[in-house]
Amino acid sequence: MASGLNWDGLSRLNHWLVAAAMVAMLVFGVYLHEFVPRGPEKGALIGIHKAVGVVVLIYGVWRVGYRLIQGFLEETTAMPKWQSTLAKVVHWVLLISVIAMPLTGVLGSYFGGRDIDVFGLFTIASAMEPTKGLSDAFMGMHGVFAKMTILALVLHVLGAIKHHYIDRDDTLKRMLGRA
């Protein structure tokens, strides 16, 4: 279980690697969805997005499992109940998103009849017969999770900034290993 005032090095590494991967995938996904026109170039970029998504899913399962086993640190500063509750909700949304975002994308592709080649290492074969309804449902969830994750990330970063500059506590420092 988490103890003391600081996260262990592996917890910090997991946090920052998954954070970087999730932000990069969200930015890349929005770019693909909003700015890249249909065509072979978009298909190739989507293939990269899917392959990285599978890697994020695999690492994300490890990250979330490790976090659940390690537990959570206590707050560094007493906060109003609503802030404490919001912080916990945001953390849970982010943890769930680490698995739900890539999983819904994989399932959307699977039921849409589209294979996922993971950098030539292995392939997740699509359903034998595409099921448009299921594919659309999972891709819709993928989009909803993207929006929820972006909102949660913004709140998470704003909370870290608040703790560091307004509360002047060690919340951010302990995630950087400096507390």
In sequence order, what are the residues at sequence separation of 6 or more whose Cβ sits closer than 8 angstroms to the Cβ of residue 115?
A: 109, 123, 124, 125, 126
Give the predicted TM-score (pTM) of the model: 0.89
Q: Which of 26-30, 63-67, 123-127, 165-169 has the lowest mean pLDDT?
A: 165-169
In sequence order, what are the residues at sequence separation of 6 or more whose Cβ sits closer than 8 angstroms to the Cβ of residue 67?
A: 11, 14, 95
Q: Please write the tens of the pLDDT for every residue from 107-127.
A: 999 999 999 999 999 999 998
Q: Please write the tens of the pLDDT for every residue from 68-97.
A: 998 888 887 888 999 999 999 999 999 999
Quickly state the pLDDT bin for 179 (edges 50, 70, 90).
low
pLDDT at 99: 98
Q: Which of 8-17, 89-98, 103-112 has the lowest mean pLDDT?
A: 8-17
Domains of the chain: 9-175 (1.20.950)
